[in-house]
């Protein structure tokens, strides 16, 4: 019975299908069959975290998605002690070449390559995978990796829609494995310090967070169906998303602005600063959300807002506002992106790994400046930020000796779901009221239709 669609005939390997399906079944999580019949997966206990790695061995990584963001994964992993890049994986031959070129700068041995991540999951010597694919792949690929016994570092957003976030948190719990999201500010040392001090009363009772992101993105124009480039496996690129023709203005970056594959600027970049606000305020899921904005700058195929505000209220009289301007880079507080946390006794301005505290009279009372130095010889003592390396160091520490993750999925998903709710509020054009324990939309069946998506038959993620 088809749990995972087999690779196309032009893929770079022949998948041992029976063995792979057994592996997926052994963990009890994976992809549902196209028939939707329950109980097709074998039940067994997932591998325990404590026994998954030999403390004296290197952590062997496969980096999946190396056109852009994944190259930072390669660079960071290659600079850290007791880690190595075992595979470079991408559906595009040119992206694989980019990954290999970057790997050659940071480690002596050349990684193996594959266009199909399922081949990588078959390799029992791979301890963890990192995922820097389009958003629609993040949760399905993570679930398959967990089913194969791999730890996962997945880029933000960890899911394409709120339902996937629910599946992902359930899969992590069931597998007993580690999954960290790439909201690396959670590992920035100065941000960690200032958030703890905010929790301890540095600015009094913190009650409002303001986050923003700006850019000068150009128009994506109007695309047209064209032939798929020879170097691209477009079938596998689409994966769990229902099939659509290949368009001239879709790959490699513009998929972000189409709901079918992406999640807009709110999740593409807003996740970082919004998460810092939520962390500083100590809140979980919102109880009320509104959003306004639109595609204002150009008339083209771009579907998500290029200008958007998302306002979220929480229990205990706290609120957060996120503002995104994709096509106008005029700064806020002289910063193109940043965070302000307001309290009863003062305000915190957070910019990357730099933080400044002001009293109510606008006097500067404390400042922590970013330190861009990383110690690659010790995964436990990255002293600053190159700053992805600090987040990967934390992830490796969790795998090797149980160091708490900076951004475990159960926590990261709260930030991702909140911004997805902001997008749902924008798409429905009305205020949403949500359950503070789960984020689920209350008394609005139409809005709940956007809680999850449809999948290409045979690619439905399942826990």
How does pLDDT run across 79-107, given as a tens digit for each residue?
998 899 999 999 999 999 999 999 999 99
Confidence (pLDDT) at 370: 81
Confidence (pLDDT) at 89: 98
Q: Tell me the C-alpha distance between 325 and 308, whole Å.
A: 7
Confidence (pLDDT) at 20: 35
Of 33-47, 215-229, 411-425, the least confident = 33-47
Q: Tell me the C-alpha distance between 437 and 202, whole Å.
A: 27
**Confidence category of residue 8, pLDDT binned at 50, 70, 90:** very low
Report domain 186-378+407-444's class.
alpha beta
Tell me: the pLDDT tens digits for 22-68? Answer: 333 434 466 653 332 222 222 223 333 433 566 667 899 999 999 99
Retrieve residue 68's tokens.
């852009």
Domain ranges of the chain: 17-183+457-462, 186-378+407-444
Mean pLDDT of 151-161: 98
Retrieve residue 259's tokens.
């709901």
Helical residues (DSSP H) of 203-321, grouped into ranges: 234-238, 264-268, 270-281
Q: Tell me the C-alpha distance between 235 and 129, whole Å.
A: 21
Mean pLDDT of 354-365: 98
CB 164 within 8 A of CB 461: yes
Nearest Cα residue to 234 out of 224, 223, 245: 245
Calculate the alpha carbon distances from 207 to 279, 332, 349, 462 in Å.
Answer: 12, 20, 14, 38
Q: Tell me the C-alpha distance between 439 and 448, whole Å.
A: 11
Of 25-34, 289-298, 347-356, the least confident = 25-34
Residue 106 CB neighbour total at 10 angstroms: 16
CB 102 within 8 A of CB 66: yes
**Confidence category of residue 4, pLDDT binned at 50, 70, 90:** very low
Residue 51 CB neighbour total at 10 angstroms: 8
Task: Give the chain's mean pLDDT.
Answer: 88
Confidence (pLDDT) at 52: 52
**Confidence category of residue 216, pLDDT binned at 50, 70, 90:** very high
Confidence (pLDDT) at 387: 82
Tell me: the pLDDT tens digits for 170-182? Answer: 999 999 999 999 9
Nearest Cα residue to 212 out of 272, 256, 296, 167: 272
**Confidence category of residue 207, pLDDT binned at 50, 70, 90:** very high
Residue 379 has pLDDT above 60, yes or no: no
**Confidence category of residue 376, pLDDT binned at 50, 70, 90:** very low
Mean pLDDT of 157-180: 98
Nearest Cα residue to 285 out of 187, 132, 169, 192: 169
Mean pLDDT of 156-179: 98
Q: Tell me the C-alpha distance between 194 and 365, whole Å.
A: 13
**Confidence category of residue 380, pLDDT binned at 50, 70, 90:** very low
Report domain 17-183+457-462's class.
alpha beta
Spell out a b/e string for 108-118, using b for 16 or more CB atoms within 10 Å of the CB, else e. Answer: eeebebbbbbb
Of 301 and 37, the one with more pLDDT: 301
Residue 198 CA to its chain's centroid (Å): 26
**Distance from the first to the final alpha carbon of the chain:** 17
């Amino acid at each position: 019975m088809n749990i995972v669609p087999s690779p196309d005939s032009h893929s770079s390997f022949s998948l041992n299908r029976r063995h792979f399906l057994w592996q997926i079944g052994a963990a009890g999580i994976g992809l549902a069959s196209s028939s939707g019949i329950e109980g097709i997966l074998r039940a067994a206990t997932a591998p325990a975290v404590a026994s998954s790695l030999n403390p004296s061995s290197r952590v062997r990584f496969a980096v999946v998605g190396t056109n852009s963001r994944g190259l930072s994964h390669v660079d960071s992993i290659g600079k850290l002690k007791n880690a190595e890049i075992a595979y470079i994986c991408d559906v595009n031959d040119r992206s694989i070449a980019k990954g290999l070129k970057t790997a050659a700068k940071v480690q002596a041995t050349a990684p193996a390559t594959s266009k199909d991540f399922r081949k990588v999951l078959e390799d029992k010597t791979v301890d963890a995978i990192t995922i820097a694919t389009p958003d629609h792949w993040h949760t399905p690929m993570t679930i398959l990796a967990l089913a194969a016994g791999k730890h996962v570092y997945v880029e933000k957003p960890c899911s394409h829609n709120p339902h996937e976030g629910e599946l992902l948190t359930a899969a992590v719990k069931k597998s007993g494995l580690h999954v960290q999201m790439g909201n690396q500010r959670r590992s920035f040392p100065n941000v960690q310090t200032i958030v703890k001090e905010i929790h301890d009363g540095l600015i009094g009772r913190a009650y409002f967070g303001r986050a923003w992101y700006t850019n000068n993105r150009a128009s994506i124009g109007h695309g047209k169906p064209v032939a798929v480039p020879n170097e691209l496996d477009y079938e596998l690129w689409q994966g769990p998303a229902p099939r659509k023709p290949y368009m001239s203005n879709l790959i490699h970056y513009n998929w972000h602005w189409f709901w079918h594959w992406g999640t807009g600027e709110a999740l593409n970049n807003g996740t970082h600063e919004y998460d810092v606000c939520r962390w500083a305020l100590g809140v979980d899921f919102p109880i009320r959300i509104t959003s306004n904005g639109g595609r204002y700058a150009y008339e083209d195929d771009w579907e998500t807002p290029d200008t958007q505000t998302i306002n979220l209220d929480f229990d205990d009289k706290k609120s957060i506002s996120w503002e995104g301007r994709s096509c106008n880079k005029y700064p806020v507080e002289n910063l193109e992106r940043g965070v302000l946390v307001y309290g009863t006794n003062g305000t915190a301005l957070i910019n990357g790994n730099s933080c400044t505290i002001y009293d109510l009279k606008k006097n500067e009372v404390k400042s922590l400046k970013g330190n861009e130095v990383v110690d690659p010889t010790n995964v436990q003592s990255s002293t600053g930020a190159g700053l992805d390396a600090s987040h990967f160091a934390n992830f490796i520490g969790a795998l090797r000796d149980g160091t708490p993750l900076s951004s475990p999925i159960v926590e990261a998903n709260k930030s991702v779901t909140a911004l997805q709710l902001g997008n749902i509020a924008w798409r429905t054009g009305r205020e949403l009221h949500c359950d503070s324990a789960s984020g689920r939309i209350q008394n609005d069946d139409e809005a709940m239709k956007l809680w999850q998506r449809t999948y290409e038959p045979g690619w439905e993620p399942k826990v």
